[in-house]
Amino acid sequence: MDLSIVVTTFNYELYLEECLASCIEQDVCGLDYEIIIIDDGSTDNTSKILSQSFPPNVRVYSIKNSGIEQASNYGFLNSNGDYIVRVDADDILLPGYLASMEEHLTENHGFFYPNYQVINQSGNLIREIELPEFDRKEIQHRGDFLATGTLVKSELIKRLNGYRTDIRSSGLENYDFILKILKLGVIGRHVPEILFGYRRHGGNMSDLKKKQIIQNGKDLFMENGLGRFQTNEFHPYGLKV
């Protein structure tokens, strides 16, 4: 199996179907891929949405509500791909995501990150974000690193046992992971195409837990010897500290 798409969802009935359609209806490519959906104990109509018939490369799991880190790790554990991309259920992959990523995969890089668009609750375009070429210090100082759209070698995820779980729904689980693989000397690769949609809406955890996320960022910087927690112009939701 070349690639696994891990979709994590908790009470995202408003966006889940669009997200899943974006993962399933990808342009034709040479990658053999699967879609792993983890329902993290949703209490809305998510279970009804996930009871429909899906293509054979889609698998659905339902677990007791455990937080984004544990739910993601459960998806990673049940994935078979050489590469893994995690997709939050309120976000979307653009149709050419897999085909474009396939063209940029190399053994010399441990993760791959494309440009993206920010969309609103209705899916309308807010702006487009063009990210810079790989630079270790820029990533460290971004203050966050998007999970959606970031393709990672599964070997690295297994080596680090996925996301840390001592803090539940930290809001920076993927940033923490990226910082760890950078410390291993892993090199990332920028893919200069807009390949996913990052949705901003009133229910984003980044809005609901802003103060706690900033504190988590300060703790991460201290743990990694990075000095004072800071962000730059490429922070995914424009957080300024």
For the chain, give the mean pLDDT: 94
* Average confidence (pLDDT) over 130-155: 94
Percent of the chain with pLDDT over 90: 82
Span 96-112, pLDDT tens digits: 999 999 999 999 999 99
The secondary structure of the chain as a DSSP string is: --EEEEEEESS-HHHHHHHHHHHHSPPP-S--EEEEEEEES--SSHHHHTTS---TTEEEEEE----HHHHHHHHHHT---SEEEEEETT-EE-TTHHHHHHHH--TT-SEEEEEEEEE-TTS-EEEEE-PPSP-HHHHHTTS---STT-EEEHHHHHHTTSS--SSTT-S-HHHHHHHHHHHTT--EEEEEEEEEEEE--TT-HHHHTHHHHHHHHHHHHHHTT--S----TT-TT----
**Domain membership flag for residue 164:** yes
- CATH label of the domain that carries residue 74: 3.90.550.10
Q: Tell whether pTM > 0.75.
A: yes
**Domain membership flag for residue 128:** yes
**Domain membership flag for residue 190:** yes
**Domain membership flag for residue 231:** no
The total number of structural domains in the chain stands at 1
Residue numbers of the domain that contains 110: 3-223
* Average confidence (pLDDT) over 35-49: 98
pLDDT score, position 205: 56
**Domain membership flag for residue 79:** yes
* Average confidence (pLDDT) over 65-92: 97
**Domain membership flag for residue 67:** yes
pLDDT score, position 132: 96
**Domain membership flag for residue 41:** yes
**Domain membership flag for residue 228:** no
